[in-house]
Chains A and B, each alone.
Chain A
Amino acid sequence: MKDTAAPYVTTDGRQIGDVLMDMRGITLRFGGVEAIKNISFDIREGEIRAIIGPNGAGKSSMLNVISGFYNPQEGEVWFRGEKRPAMKPFQVARLGIARTFQNIALFDGMSVLDNIMTGRLTHMKTGMLSQMIWKGRAEREEVENRAVVERIIDFLEIQAIRKTPVGRLPYGLKKRVELARALAAEPKLLLLDEPMAGMNVEEKEDMSRFILDVNDEFGTTIALIEHDMGVVMDLSDRVVVMDYGRKIGDGTPSEVRNNQEVIDAYLGVAHD
């Protein structure tokens, strides 16, 4: 089994760079339950990396380790060539890692625009005093960041709902707003936890196109969890397969598709 690939060029001609995130021997326990057992894999700059596996395999736990919700008992997380100490989620966010959630986690009381503007918070530095005065630094910063947010609004085609309270939006649009909020942070690594869960075919196609466009236009590295195999195989450059907290496969979609262990995990094996 091939664990790491050197920098390479994808079939559609995108240059995949150095290792951005390196997970080394991660083990995560909840009491006596080992959710993740000694898993290592890396994510390279510019690639779309999928994490797949049956329910309860530990995929979301893995994403939570990357985004700082859980700190693993064993193993090291390396980001941009440096070992990352145990961190709180907001510190991880400041390193340039943004994510979306499986069940949407938007701020229901705020408008779409304000929700996406929260994604810029790591970039907004003016102190409370200048904010109170508003005119001058705070307003300038607000306008600069608004311009960034407006580009993302254009990109994801949600101009019409800018001022709508998020609570009133349908599910598919909420997912898109959540992606917009994550993108507004201009992350180096974007984590998507089941971006297509509960969508119909048309919405899935839209979302897939947005993910590819994000990767293409902004050069954002993306790690995603997804259950729809068709989507995973089409979108991703490399795939990690997990089952019962172990890694059972790692490689390009075609390699993974032909891996006997992966096939067994998904289809089950006859016990004789």
Chain B
Amino acid sequence: MLYREAGDFKTTYAADSQTFPIAFDRWRYWAVLAVAWLVIPFVIDDYWANAILVPFLIYSIAAIGLNILTGYCGQVSLGTGGFMAVGAYSVYKLMTAFPDVSMLIHVVLAGFITAAVGAAFGLPSLRIKGFYLAVATLAAQFFLVWLFNKVPWFYNYSASGQISAPERFVGGIAVTGAGTAPAAQYLICLFFVTLCALLARNLTRGSVGRKWMAIRDMDIAAEIIGVNPLTAKLSAFAVSSFFIGIAGALFFAVYLGAVEVGEAFGIQKSFLVLFMCIIGGLGSIFGSFAGAAFLVLLPVALKVLGVDLLGWPSSTVAHLQLVAVGALIMFFLIKEPHGLAQLWRIAKEKLRLWPFPY
């Protein structure tokens, strides 16, 4: 009943092109933001932060990043894990080189470094498309992981070859290191999620986003209306890698604390983020959140159901989880290539008319 556009007239083009044209959606958005910022930080405990909320937020940023490249610009990438590693190692080098600078600045700088690396690895996209590009980005994935393992400078010559985050602060409150409060972990991730989602949304609704989508839908026609494929593709790679770099930096510094590159940022990570985009919905910011939430919650839900309620051995449940993810990927590719976001959109279309059929 509340979900209506009737009576909600737009009198300017600016109002017509806003993110949530329906008033109810706008209120829901502000409500979600308010709960996320004002309620959750006070009730969050260690389990919720580390098992669910922090990974969800970080993967959301990574999924937004990959969605810009793959969902909006149509360039398939399997290098996400590698680019996350670039973000992680950049932030590690920055944290150890400049201990007094705020973490917020370090994470953003790590994003910029990753953007430069991503744009460099995006160069092959000017020549090759589709599967071949996917394989080229796969090369980036393996090369970057190899590089961070091989060159001791990146891990500050530590004996184990691992990097571990020292304690660093934002305005006097520890956000990395062993003594970090769950609320602080959560809030710094939430800050970057809010920022990234806003930036991504603004980019994709304006002329830059249209350039990307034009390249995705038909690159020849895009060129004929004046889109330079070089700048369009490279900017998509750069922006996408910027977000992925931020995600990688947070994943290492805030979430894990200590990282071995092949384990944390291997090829599985690339696939995981790609699956989030596919299940959530390619070409949708909301879909990035939905996909991240889904794939973070699925193992937790299966564990609660299988191990805690039914008493199965945890190895069985772990295998079951792989089967379930595989089956879901196939289901979505066949039945709903636009993912959860499309299901959500259809539900909303239906809701607009409900309870009437027309």
Chain B positions within 8 Å of A110 at CB level: 210, 213-214, 217
A99 to B178 alpha-carbon distance, docked (Å): 61
A164-183: CB near B (< 8 Å → 1, else 0) gives: 00000000000000000110
Which residue, A93, A134, A142, A181, has most C-beta atoms of chain B within 10 A?
Answer: A134
Which residue, A94, A98, A118, A143, has most C-beta atoms of chain B within 10 A?
Answer: A118
CB proximity of B127 to chain A, nearest CB, Å: 15
B210, A132: Cβ atoms under 8 Å? no
A138, B202: Cβ atoms under 8 Å? yes
Tell me, yes or no, whether A34 is within 8 Å of chain B by CB.
no
Tell me, yes or no, whether B208 is within 8 Å of chain A by CB.
yes
Stretch at the interface among B28-36, B154-162, B219-227: B219-227
Chain B positions within 8 Å of A108 at CB level: 217-218
B207, A121: Cβ atoms under 8 Å? yes
| A-B complex: 6 closest residue pairs judged by Cβ atoms | A93-B226, A107-B217, A105-B221, A122-B226, A134-B202, A124-B207
A93, B235: Cβ atoms under 8 Å? no
Which of chain B's residues 281-329 have a Cβ closer than 8 Å to chain A?
283
Tell me, yes or no, whether A158 is within 8 Å of chain B by CB.
no
Tell me, yes or no, whether A5 is within 8 Å of chain B by CB.
no
Tell me, yes or no, whether B153 is within 8 Å of chain A by CB.
no
Tell me, yes or no, whether A128 is within 8 Å of chain B by CB.
yes
B195-208: CB near A (< 8 Å → 1, else 0) gives: 00001001101111
CB proximity of A192 to chain B, nearest CB, Å: 13
CB proximity of B232 to chain A, nearest CB, Å: 9
Summed over the interface, the residue pairs from A and B with CB atoms below 8 Å come to a total of 109
Tell me, yes or no, whether B14 is within 8 Å of chain A by CB.
yes
Query: What is the size category of the interface that chain B forms with chain A?
Result: 20 to 34
Task: Give chain A's interface residues, CB within 8 Å of chain B.
Answer: 67, 69, 88-90, 93-94, 98-99, 101, 105-110, 114, 117-122, 124, 126, 128, 131-134, 138-139, 141-143, 146-147, 150, 181-182, 185
User: Other than the known A98-B225, A142-B207, what 5 A-B pairs have Cβ atoms closer than 8 Å?
Assistant: A93-B225, A105-B221, A121-B225, A134-B202, A181-B225
A146 contact from B17, B199, B210, B223, Cβ within 8 A: B17
B224, A109: Cβ atoms under 8 Å? no
B206, A90: Cβ atoms under 8 Å? no
CB proximity of A94 to chain B, nearest CB, Å: 5
| 10 A-B pairs in the complex with CB atoms less than 8 angstroms apart | A93-B223, A105-B221, A106-B218, A106-B221, A107-B214, A121-B207, A126-B206, A131-B207, A142-B207, A143-B13
CB proximity of B258 to chain A, nearest CB, Å: 33
A126 to B214 alpha-carbon distance, docked (Å): 18
CB proximity of A47 to chain B, nearest CB, Å: 22
Tell me, yes or no, whether B229 is within 8 Å of chain A by CB.
yes
Q: Which residue of B lies closest to A104 (CB)?
A: B221
For the residues of B in contact with A, the DSSP-based class is: helix
Tell me, yes or no, whether B11 is within 8 Å of chain A by CB.
no
Which of chain B's residues 3-33 have a Cβ closer than 8 Å to chain A?
12-14, 16-17
B13, A146: Cβ atoms under 8 Å? yes
CB proximity of B73 to chain A, nearest CB, Å: 12
A181 to B217 alpha-carbon distance, docked (Å): 15
Q: Which residue of B lies closest to A146 (CB)?
A: B13
Q: Which residue of A lies closest to B17 (CB)?
A: A142
A201 to B213 alpha-carbon distance, docked (Å): 34
CB proximity of B39 to chain A, nearest CB, Å: 27
A181 to B218 alpha-carbon distance, docked (Å): 14
A264 to B297 alpha-carbon distance, docked (Å): 74
Chain A positions within 8 Å of B217 at CB level: 106-110
Tell me whether A185 and B218 are in contact in the complex, defined as CB-CB below 8 angstroms, given that A110-B210, A131-B203 are known contacts. Answer: no
Which residue, A67, A98, A107, has most C-beta atoms of chain B within 10 A?
Answer: A107
Which residue, B16, B202, B207, B211, has most C-beta atoms of chain A within 10 A?
Answer: B207
Chain B positions within 8 Å of A128 at CB level: 203, 208, 235, 239
A126 to B206 alpha-carbon distance, docked (Å): 10
Which residue, B13, B217, B223, B225, has most C-beta atoms of chain A within 10 A?
Answer: B225
Which of chain B's residues 151-190 have a Cβ closer than 8 Å to chain A?
none
